[in-house]
Copies of this chain bind each other. A is one copy, B any other.
Amino acid sequence: MIDKFSPDIAEALDGIPDAATILLGGFGAVGQANLLIEGVLETGVRNLTIVANNAGYGKVGLARLLKEGRVRKLICSYPRIVGSTIFEELYSSGKLELELVPQGTLAERMRAAGAGIPAFFTPTGANTLLSQGKEMRDYNGLPHVLEQALYGDVALVEAWEADRWGNLTYRDAGRNFNPVCAMAAKLTIAQTQHVRELGALNPEHIVTPGIFVDRVVHIPCGDPVG
């Protein structure tokens, strides 16, 4: 019987190596797999590359990973949000490498990785600081940038519901980057608020089919905090 549930966070996170690239779902405080992220801290891995829209929110999750010096590089669209002082300190002191990526390009690069598309042309960012050094080509009379797929070793996502096949749903704005991260990583680990029996999720309403999910852990952590 297929059963992707792990009994606890430690087992769910087993095997993440140093220097891994970890994709994090979430936007603002909503839909972040904070307990998995903090579990990564406890595994002791270092030298991580983190892909996330924000550089942590509040004092939880990614903010803690950053503070503890586990992150070598951040690939991110909007690191500077209210309360992201940890990021600013690390970045200005040269302790953290930053790859700034337009938000839509960030999402599309992960989606491309999950979809087997190694590179694509996008108009976003053409002829700006963020396209410097990249291959350019005109389409439809406008300049476009060639962007590369962004592959994760691990993705950490937060779901609203999950079943033992790893099928996931999300809640409201908690969907955001989560389905995109889930498809782009070799090892996708979900924390879920609710567990459902196989067959209880309507096949029309499953957002992330279990094929994109390797492990699930039940963490009924309630409303977003951050």
A positions within 8 Å CB-CB of B: 108, 112, 115-123, 137, 139-140, 144, 169-172, 202, 204-205, 207
Q: Which residues of B contact A204 (CB under 8 A)?
A: 169-172, 205, 207
Contact of A121 among B108, B118, B137 (CB under 8 A): B118
Q: Chain B's nearest CB lies how many Å from the CB of A114?
A: 12
Give the complex CA separation of A204 and B170 in angstroms: 8
Q: Which residue of B lies closest to A138 (CB)?
A: B118
Known: A169-B204, A204-B205, A205-B205. A120 touches B119 (CB 8 A): yes
Give the complex CA separation of A112 and B147 in angstroms: 14
Q: Which residues of B contact A121 (CB under 8 A)?
A: 117-120
Contact of A139 among B118, B172, B202 (CB under 8 A): B118
Q: Which residues of B contact A117 (CB under 8 A)?
A: 108, 120-122
Give the complex CA separation of A115 and B105 in angstroms: 11
Instruction: Knowing that A117-B120, A118-B139, A202-B205 touch, tell me 8 more A-B residue pairs with CB under 8 angstroms.
Output: A108-B115, A116-B123, A117-B121, A117-B122, A118-B121, A118-B144, A170-B204, A172-B204
Q: Chain B's nearest CB lies how many Å from the CB of A119?
A: 5
Q: Which residues of B contact A116 (CB under 8 A)?
A: 122-123
Give the complex CA separation of A116 and B102 in angstroms: 14
